Every structure is written in C-alpha cells, then in structure tokens.
Amino acid sequence: MIPVDESRRKFLGTTAAAAGALALGPGVMLYSYAEAKAGSGAGERTIRWGMLVDTTKCASGCTACVDACNTEHNIAPAKLPTDVQWIRKVELKDERTGAVHSMPVMCQHCAEPPCVDVCPTGASFKRADGIVMVDRHTCIGCRYCMMACPYKARSFVHEPTTNKSSVAPRGKGCVESCTMCVHRVDKGGTPACVEACSDAGHRAIIFGDLNDPNSEIAKRVKAATTTQLRADLRTDNGVRYQGL
Amino acid sequence: MAAPALAKPPVLDKAKGEKCVEETSVMRKRHMDFLKHQRDDTVHGGIRGAKHSLAGCVECHANARDGAVLGSSQHFCQGCHEYAAVKLDCFDCHTSHTKSAQASQKRGVPR
C-alpha cells in the first residue's frame, strides 16, 4: 500500500473543482464529480466506475439483479434481516401522487464514503477507480461502517460458512458489501446485476466509467436528470438514479 | 522428562506441473510473504491471476482425488502446517478446493 498525503490531495482536488464546476449560485453546483481519489494501491486513477439505474425501466417484482448477485457471490437468498445481502429491491411510493418506483439499492460507491472515514483499521477503503469495498484481511468485524453507511448497504457474516467459492471468499466475523464485481471489472467485464438486468430485457442498470466522456453512462448522465440518493449528505455517489 | 522424539517429516500430495512459482527451497521458507504481498496487490490494486495467487496454489497443490489442499495430514497445506504447528485462518474464507472440485459440490448454499 502506498501512503498518500490526503490533505494535499484534498486541497488540490477542491481547487481544481472550484475552478471547473459550473455554479448556479453560492454552493449550488450543476454537476460535481469529485475525482476518484486513490485510497491506496495501483489501479486506474483516471477511471471512476459508476452505475446508472433507470427506475422507469426497473420492473416491480423482478429480482433478476438480486438473484444474479446471489449466484455470483455464493450468497443464500436472505431470510433474516441479518443475512448477507449485497443488493436489494426497494419500492418507493410518493404518498401525495401515488407514484411507485421500483429500484435496486446496493453500495453507492461514494466518492466521500462515510464507511471509510470511520473504519479503525483501514479495511474499508476506496480503490483508485472509485470502487468502495472491505479488505477482509484487515477487517476486525467492529461494524462501525455498517452504522455509518446511509444506505444500509453492508452486511456482517454471523455464521461460519461452508461451500466456498474462489470468486467470493467469505468467513464469519467480517463485513462485506457490493464490490461492483471487481473480479469481473478488473478483467474488462460487467457486474453480474447489470448483465442479468439486460438479459431479462429491462436494461435498467448500466455500468461504465463516469470519467470517460465517450462512455454510455457519461453521455446518459450528461443528457438526462439523474439523482444521487441522499445527495444532501454530499457523499457523491457513483451509483445514480434516473426517473426518481 | 525425556525430550519427545522428532516427528517424521510429512509425506505430502504431489503437485501438478514441473515446478513451483518460485524455487522450491525459496517457497518452503517464504510462501507466506508472497501470499500476503499478492493479497494486497489483488485486493487494493486489482491485479488478478498473478503468479502468487492463492487460488493458483490450490489448483496445483490439490489432492488428485478430492481436489483439496486440506482434509488429511497428507493434503498439501494441512500436512506441512500440522507438522510445523502452524495454524491458518485463510481457509475460513478461501476455498480449499480447485475450481473443478467446487463445481461438483452442491452450489448456492453458503452455510
């Protein structure tokens, strides 16, 4: 792990952002992508992996993304609230208009992740390409990150595991969450949920590099109004929602 | 009290392939260093399928019949660690089976 001088990097980051961002008024920005800052290690510093969920295309009752995630990461379908779950379907209802939205919620891969801030061992970290995850070799199972996460995206493994898979090592006593399928992404692939959603004919989730102006995701978030969940917390999520 | 007799060196499963990822004499002493280095490179740097991968060790060193590196004092990782009185937690999470042995196990039920 390469230690970085975060204060210097943050200073350079804000100066650049202040110069580049389009301001509507004091403190009101149209777009602000904090650059993916390296937590540690190598990897592509210019990339920021993200996902766009189009809630108008997400079918109520469809669980293709959840099922695919479970299969990919060797997770038994959750029965108890304490069971491992990396992605879940949420139904949102606007009480005034009656409008209902169905959508998947998983780790939002924040640029300013609260889970990383509170982790006492550095196990919660952000890769250079913006993916937030737990290094389970350093996780001591304290679960501060689960308390800090505004999206309840993390799970704790309460029981010993059997039937292991080499894709998703898992053991009692550690916290885990969506890794945006790093093992696929590192080989040029697409996360399992995105693939399954597309196979189911919905194409409600797309994946790509938010920093690459030619990527589909960058074009879509440029052209349409998209939102970050709990944008008020200014965690600058890598997962965005359209149609909310 | 009489000193206990030294246990006989373990007889371990034969590995696949001609040679290890490093000289055998180096591996014997330093495999744990390579593994821990690889671990950080993979998890933090996204470098996959590299020479010192743990999944890689298992593919070559698994028992020919059950495809595992643990199971008895003849199994590669278990046999020597038993002899040397080393206890690992790696396989609390990592599979001790080769890819093909995992595929033939019951799928989808992690506990």
pLDDT of residue B9: 86
pLDDT of residue A16: 43
B interface with A, Cβ–Cβ < 8 A, is 39-41, 43-48, 55, 58, 89, 92-97, 99, 102, 105-111
A122-145 residue pLDDT tens: 999 999 999 999 999 999 999 999
pLDDT of residue A13: 46
pLDDT of residue A3: 56
CA atoms within a 13 Å half-sphere pointing along the CA-CB vector of A53: 25
Interface contact A164-B89, CB threshold 8 A = no
pLDDT of residue A162: 83
Alpha-carbon gap, residue A35 to A237, rounded angstroms: 11
A interface with B, Cβ–Cβ < 8 A, is 1, 39-43, 70-71, 74-76, 84, 125, 127, 129, 133, 135-137, 159-166, 169-172, 174, 182-183, 185-187
Asked whether A176 and A157 are in contact (CB, 8 A), the reply is: yes
Which ipTM score applies to this complex? 0.86
Interface contact A160-B111, CB threshold 8 A = yes
- Identify the helix (H) or strand (E) that includes residue B31: helix B24-45
Domains, chain A, ordered by start: 45-242 (3.30.70.20)
Q: pTM of the full predicted structure?
A: 0.86
**Pairing, β A49-54 against β A239-242:** parallel
B59, B93, B98, B109: which to substitute to probe chain A, counting the most A Cβ within 10 Å?
Answer: B93
Q: What is the 3-state secondary structure (H, E, C) of chain A?
A: CCCCCHHHHHHHHHHHHHHHCCEEECCEECCCCCCCCCCCCCCCCCCCEEEEEECCCCCCCCCHHHHHHHHHCCCCCCCCCCCCCCEEEEEEECCCCCCEEEEEEECCCECCCHHHHHCCCCCEEECCCCCEEECCCCCCCCCHHHHHCCCCCCEECCCCCCCCCCCCCCCCCCEECCCCCHHHHCCCCCCHHHHHHHHCCCCCEEEEECCCCCCHHHHHHHHCCEECCCHHHCCCECEEEECC
Q: Which of A70, A75, A166 sits opposite B102 (nearest CB)?
A: A166
Residues of chain A with pLDDT under 70: 1-44
pLDDT of residue A177: 98
The dihedral of CA A106, A107, A111, A114: what is its sign? positive
pLDDT of residue B14: 95
Interface contact A166-B99, CB threshold 8 A = yes
pLDDT of residue B49: 87
The 10 Å Cβ neighbour count of residue A106 is: 24
Successive 10-residue mean pLDDT values, chain B, 111 residues: 70 94 96 97 94 96 96 96 95 94 60 36
Asked whether A38 and A72 are in contact (CB, 8 A), the reply is: no
A51-75 residue pLDDT tens: 999 999 999 999 999 999 999 999 9
Question: Tokens 């510093």 appear where?
Answer: A45
pLDDT of residue A196: 98
